[in-house]
Each structure stands twice: as structure tokens, then as C-alpha cells.
Amino acid sequence: MKRDFQDHFPQLYESGHLLFDQPLAGRSSFKIGGPADVLALPHTQKDLIALLTYALQKQIPYFILGKGTNLLISDKGIRGLVIGMEGFRKITRDENYLSAFAGVKLRQLCEFAQKEGLAGLEFAHGIPGSVGGAVFMNAGAYGGEIKDVLYCSKCLIPDLEHLTSFDPILHLRAEQHDFSYRMSALQTRGLIHLSSVFRLTEDDPAAIQARMKEIERKRLDKQPMDKPSGGSVFKRPEGHFTGKLVEDCGLKGYRIGDAAISDKHCGFIVNLGQASAQNVLELIEFICKTVYDRYQVSLETEIRLVGEW
């Protein structure tokens, strides 16, 4: 596989954007994860389409990786091709609209909007992900969600019929994203996010910055921002708060290996240093069983398990 990728993508290989047996722990907010067989870091839509086309033609499995948040990557890693989207980082403004590519960090987008005097994205300040992941998951916090400000998106349809045609691009209006809690049409339809446009409102940059600082203060007070984690582990069960359920079960600080339930917020699992993916998975299963046995509430994970298990 290595020789085949080198031969087919010499420019990516020579520029250092095609890597082999590459550890993924450093690309995960958990700081956990084994190697990718092939890690490609395209910077153009043309290279992205070429990589996907090649993988599909050769029946090589692929995975699209953003900032590695809301993910638990297997200790065995990910077989096949992993495509990192960090090379897609452009932001532009047109009146009250901001266009951002998939690899833009959410924090970067929020700060850009603040400096431009555009409000609406304050809720996303501090969410440790990328624009692509935020749209994919309908990221949200502190009363706001991506669906509240998204205007439209540009996506790739990842099948050979479309990738080898003249128009593999799909444009989605806001309502076509089928947003729900941590869900979107990008997940259900298997689409690959390229960019999105956000419709914002003009406001005083100082007022926007004050709201962002207040949200950041709340995060630091309530969430374990000082330790690696995958974000909130579970979706909020109807009528309950996951953190309270876990804490009321007496599980605050409970650990398996170096994977531990956060002392600050029991809805988070943190990596105390050398946690493995298997440690985290076993802890998730233990939490689910304990909460169900005591309260008959079924917890559903928000983080995604990826790779070879």
C-alpha cells in the first residue's frame, strides 16, 4: 500500500503531506490512538477528490479526521486511509455572512467573527473542534447550536459515480442539513464537509468579546479543560443531566487505568496521562451499567468509536 500511494501521489509524499504508520494520539483531544496505515493531508479540493477516488477504486477504507474531538481512536489505530482536513483553513466575509472551510478551528472562527463585529457564534467559543466537525455533529453549548447560525454548506458526495463526474459537489441549504441533537444529514448521508456559510448579526466587538469571555469563564469553572478528554461523553438523556446521574452514583473520580471520571464534571472522562482506548471503553461501559442499574436510564455515547477494535 505504501508504494502504491507514493507512486500515485508523489507531490503529497514529497511535500510531507503523505505519511505512513502515523500515530494518531497527537491528533486526538483524548491524546489516545494507534497508527493510521496512511495519513494524507491534502490542501486542495483536487487532491482530496483524487485521494477519495483512489481509495474507492482500490476498495481501501477511509476516514475523514478533523481536530479529533468527540472521538475515541482505537489503540490498534485505523486501517486504510485517514484524511486530515487541517489544510482547508480559509475564512472570508461577505456583509453579515462568514464562509469557513472544514479545517478552520471553531475558536479561530469565533475570534474572526468577534473582530469583524459579527455576533451569533459566541456559544461555540471554546468548543475544541473544527468547522467541519461542528457542522457534522451540530455542535452546541450554552444555549446555542450550529443550526442556529448556519446558512448553507458545500459537501462532497463520496461515491465513484459522483467523484469521477464533472460535479461531485452537493450544496445544502440550512433546512437540508436535517439537524437534530448532535446529528445532521452529513452523518446520515455519509457526506464529506468542505465549507459552510454562517449568517450572523452586526454588534459591537467589545460586547461580543465580553460574552465570549463569560462563556470561557463558565467552561473553565465547570469543565476539565486542563486534562485531555473527548468532550462530553454522553448525550443528554431526556429529563436528566448525565453528570448528575453519574455523580449521584458515587462515581466522581472513579478510574480504570489512567482513564478517570472527572472530579470537575462527571459527564467527562479524562486521560490522566497514559490511558488507553480500552481503559476509556471499559469505563464507559461501567458508567452505563451503573447508571442503568440504579436509575433505569440508558445512556447513549456522544463520542464516536473509530478504528480497529
The residues assigned a catalytic role are: 182, 232, 302
**Measured distance CA(46)–CA(197) in Å, rounded:** 21
Q: How many residues does the chain have?
A: 309
The answer to whether the CB of 161 falls within 8 A of the CB of 78 is no
Q: What angle do CA 37, 163, 15 make, to 5 degrees?
A: 45
Instruction: Look at residues 151, 144, 89 and name the one whose alpha carbon lies nearest to residue 120.
Output: 144
Instruction: For 70-106, give one letter per residue: b (16+ CB within 10 A) or e.
Output: bbbbbbebbbbbbbbbbbbbebeeeebebbbbbbbbb
Give the Å distances, CA to CA, from 39 to 27, 92, 203.
11, 28, 41
